[in-house]
A = this chain, B = another copy of it.
Amino acid sequence: MKKFEEKTVKTEEIFNGKIVQLQIDEVQLPNGKTSKREIIKHPGAVAVIPITKDNKIVFVEQYRKPLEKSLVEIPAGKLERGENPLVAAVRELEEETGYTTNSLSFVTSFYSSPGFANELLHIYITDDLVKLDEPQPGDDDEFVEIVELTLDEAKQYVEEERIHDAKTNYAVLYLHALEGR
C-alpha cells in the first residue's frame, strides 16, 4: 500500500557498515512540503523457537552492546545476502544451540522498528530437535550460552526483564497462547 506516499527528492548516504547502512532521504510529503527521514538499512533477520523433547524452550544468553547488558533470547541472526530465511534459520539454530532440525514451521514475520529501520524478522518454530555430533562454529566474535527453560520459567524471565526483546517476548506470548487453546 502506498497511502500517504513520501517520494524521495534526494538520498544522502551517511554510513555503510558491516551490519547497517544509514542514509538520509529528503522526501516530499503528501501536502507538498519536504521533510527528512533517517533510515537504517538492515539485511533482515531470522529467529527460531526451539522446543526440546521434554518440552523446554532453548534460549541463548548473549551480551548486547547497545544495551550494555546480556539478554536471554531465542536463537537468531541476520540474513546473508540473498539467503533463504528458512536456510538461515537452520544455520543460526545449529551455530547457536548445537541442535539441528528436520522440520521448521513459519510462525510470523514483522518489521522490528518501521519508523527508522527496514529490518524484517522471520520467526520459525520446531519441536523436532536433533543434537549435532559436531557443533557448528558460529561467528568468531559471538559468545552465547544456552539456557533451557520451561514456559513458566520463561514467563518469569519476561517479568524479570531477563527476556526483554521483541522476538523473544513474542515467542513467549505465542507459546502461552498455544497452551491456552
Q: How far is the CA of A117 from the CA of B39 in the complex (A)?
A: 13
Is A148 positioned at the interface, with any CB of B under 8 Å from its CB?
no
A124 to chain B, nearest CB (A): 15
Knowing A40-B40, A119-B113, say if A70 contacts B1 (CB, 8 Å). Answer: yes
Could you tell me if B114 and A5 are in contact, using CB atoms closer than 8 angstroms? no
Flag A59-91 by CB within 8 Å of B: 1 or 0 each.
Answer: 001111111011101001010000000000000
Copies of this chain in the oligomer: 2
Of B29, B71, B118, B168, the residue contacting A141 (CB under 8 A) is B29
Instruction: Give which listed residue, B17, B31, B145, B166, contacts A113 with CB less than 8 A.
Output: B166
Check if B17 sits within 8 Å of A24, measured CB to CB: yes
Q: List residues of chain B with CB within 8 A of the CB of A78.
A: 115
Q: Is A126 engaged at the interface, CB distance under 8 Å to the other chain?
A: no
A38 in the interface, Cβ–Cβ < 8 Å? yes
Chain B residue at smallest Cβ distance from A40: B40
A42 to B, closest residue via Cβ? B116
CB distance from A35 to the nearest CB of B (A): 4
A162-181 vs B, Cβ < 8 Å mask (1 yes, 0 no): 10111111100110110011
- Flag A18-54 by CB within 8 Å of B: 1 or 0 each: 1110101101011101011111111001000000000
